[in-house]
A = this chain, B = another copy of it.
Amino acid sequence: MIDACLLGTGGMMPLPNRWLSALLLRCEGHIILCDCGEGTQISWRSTNWGFRDLGTIVLTHLHADHVAGLPGVLYTVAHAEREDPVAIYGPPGTAAAVAAMRVIVPRLPFPVEVHELTGGETVDLPAGLQLRALAVEHRVPCLAYTFHRPRAPRFDTDRARELGIPITLWSRLQRGESVTVDGRPIQPEEVLGPPRRGLTVAFVTDTRPTPELPDFVRGADLLVCEGMYGDPDMLDRAVERGHMIFQEAAAIAAAGEVKRLWLTHFSPALTDPGAYLPLARDIFPNTDIGRAHRTLTLAFPDDE
């Protein structure tokens, strides 16, 4: 399972009634924070997720509205008595930005490990998650991310019993290892079903649509994507500033055949994003307007 909780939906600057765009993910007790603008820890505190399990932070880019909350989050995680490392992933420049922001939180009880990505990488995270990064088009280096939880093939217990495999060896076969029973080698394929799809969450902000994005997010169970403007008349502004209108985000969701789309990163001038939701749903019906603390639990389907 992967739990997702949107912490805010704002772009540019936090507002009294709109926290900046950030997303929490949780898998097997491991928490991932996607972007960290000013106020992120305040919105987070209104959830029941706690801070201690934060192990991974991914930053799309180094604009203040996506990173300025980092000192506060690190301080608060320290106050929650975490001692295990926190890994931070971001574009080139992340190490320098994190070092600069840590001038005001110099002492932490856990190591902070910064990894700079340029796009194209796949990284193993804790809890069996795979992080993929894609370079996108903003005014500064910016990355889109997917978080993928693979699913093991179904284990055929009837077949395993027929082959006389002791139950103590089943977990090794489930992990894809071969075993030997009475001197006879047994390959995992003999007891495992066909590959099964896992779970995927995609986080895409701040960027223009790019040709790679539909394939990058393909089949995601949840796509959290920016929609800086709702009004199609704002397209020129979106192009100029390296953002999208709702319809462009919906087009990526449709082309990528994702399961659902949450729009986020609204312009401060966009006071009623819901007014433009129908335009997005015309293109991708399963679109929702993001809101702070909108939560979704993604589970492997029972029937596969």
Residues of A participating in the B interface, judged by any CB pair closer than 8 Å: 12-16, 38-39, 41-43, 45-46, 62-65, 67-69, 71-72, 75-76, 79, 96-97, 100-101, 103-105
Is A72 in contact with B79, judged by CB distance below 8 angstroms?
no
**Residue in B closest to A39 when the chains form the complex, CB atoms:** B39
B residues near A68, Cβ cutoff 8 Å: 38, 68, 71-72, 104
Closest Cβ of chain B to A301, distance in Å, is 35
B residues near A64, Cβ cutoff 8 Å: 71-72, 75, 104-105
Q: How far is the CA of A39 from the CA of B68 in the complex (A)?
A: 10
Q: How far is the CA of A27 from the CA of B104 in the complex (A)?
A: 30
Known: A100-B100, A100-B103. A72 touches B13 (CB 8 A): yes
Give me 16 A-to-B residue pairs in the complex whose CB atoms sit less than 8 angstroms apart, sorted by A's number.
Answer: A13-B72, A13-B76, A13-B79, A14-B42, A16-B42, A16-B45, A38-B41, A38-B69, A62-B104, A63-B104, A65-B75, A68-B72, A68-B104, A96-B103, A100-B101, A100-B103
Q: How far is the CA of A16 from the CA of B16 in the complex (A)?
A: 11
Q: How far is the CA of A104 from the CA of B71 in the complex (A)?
A: 12
B residues near A13, Cβ cutoff 8 Å: 41, 72, 75-76, 79
Is A38 in contact with B104, judged by CB distance below 8 angstroms?
no
**Residue in B closest to A76 when the chains form the complex, CB atoms:** B13
Closest Cβ of chain B to A51, distance in Å, is 10
Q: How far is the CA of A79 from the CA of B13 in the complex (A)?
A: 10
Q: How far is the CA of A62 from the CA of B101 in the complex (A)?
A: 12
B residues near A97, Cβ cutoff 8 Å: 103-104
Q: How far is the CA of A42 from the CA of B39 in the complex (A)?
A: 8
Known: A64-B72, A71-B68. A45 touches B104 (CB 8 A): no
Closest Cβ of chain B to A251, distance in Å, is 30
B residues near A76, Cβ cutoff 8 Å: 13
Interface centre among A46, A72, A101, by most B CB within 10 Å? A72
Is A14 in contact with B72, judged by CB distance below 8 angstroms?
yes
Known interface pairs A13-B72, A64-B75; 19 further A-B residue pairs with C-beta atoms within 8 A, sorted by A's residue number? A12-B79, A13-B76, A13-B79, A14-B41, A14-B42, A14-B72, A15-B42, A38-B38, A38-B39, A38-B41, A63-B104, A65-B75, A68-B68, A68-B104, A96-B103, A100-B100, A100-B103, A101-B101, A101-B104
